[in-house]
Amino acid sequence: MGYNVGMITGTETQTVWRRARREDLDVLLDIERRSFDVPWTWGEMEEEFQLDYSRPWVAEQDGRVVAFGIHWLIAGESQLADIAVHPDFQRRGLGRRMMDVLLDDARALGMKKMTLEVRAENAAAIDLYLNLGFVETSRRPRYYEDRHDAVLMEISFEK
């Protein structure tokens, strides 16, 4: 069952939002490898389909997975674990829409907030998260494998 079917601005293509399935694994890993200098391994990605707390989602256009997002549900909070859009489909709003899907999923499941880490030099992602209502809570120096800093952000669902 799809989460939502909607039109992507400037195209005639409909996007179906649905929970990822194990058979999507190879496509998710391909998108991951095209998107990140230090991508998740096959084993790390495959494990997401075995973890009770992992909620992987995909965006599908014309039967093709073009984006994915994964969040974890831990102790009443959602943690953004991974999100990526295939390079051929970037700059069409899919990343923002995927975040909307993940945020809606977390709210519907009663989570109190969503947290995330993002590379400090990833200005586009930080802008997206700020526009969604996230706030910076702290920084972790030399957090990533390549020694880049992480910006920690969160959004509260509680009034």
What is the C-alpha to C-alpha distance for residues 70 and 146, in angstroms, rounded to an integer?
22
Q: What is the DSSP secondary-structure string of 27-87?
A: HHHHHHHHH-SSPPPHHHHHHTTT-TTEEEEEEEETTEEEEEEEEEEETTEEEEEEEEE-G
Dump pLDDT digits (tens) for 91-116.
889 999 999 999 999 999 999 999 99
Closest CA to 100 of 129, 75, 120: 129
From the centroid of its chain, how far is CA 81?
A: 7
Mean pLDDT of the chain: 90
What is the C-alpha to C-alpha distance for residues 3 and 100, in angstroms, rounded to an integer?
11
Query: Which residues participate in catalysis according to the annotation?
Result: 117, 129
Domains of the chain, first to last? 2-112 (3.40.630.30)
Dump pLDDT digits (tens) for 4-49.
434 344 445 799 999 999 999 999 999 999 998 889 999 999 999 9
Tokens for 39, please give them.
């991508």
Q: What is the dihedral of CA 83, 85, 90, 91, to 10 degrees?
A: -30
Closest CA to 59 of 11, 4, 106: 4
pLDDT score at 85: 96
88 close to 72: Cβ distance less than 8 angstroms: no
What is the C-alpha to C-alpha distance for residues 122 and 112, in angstroms, rounded to an integer?
26
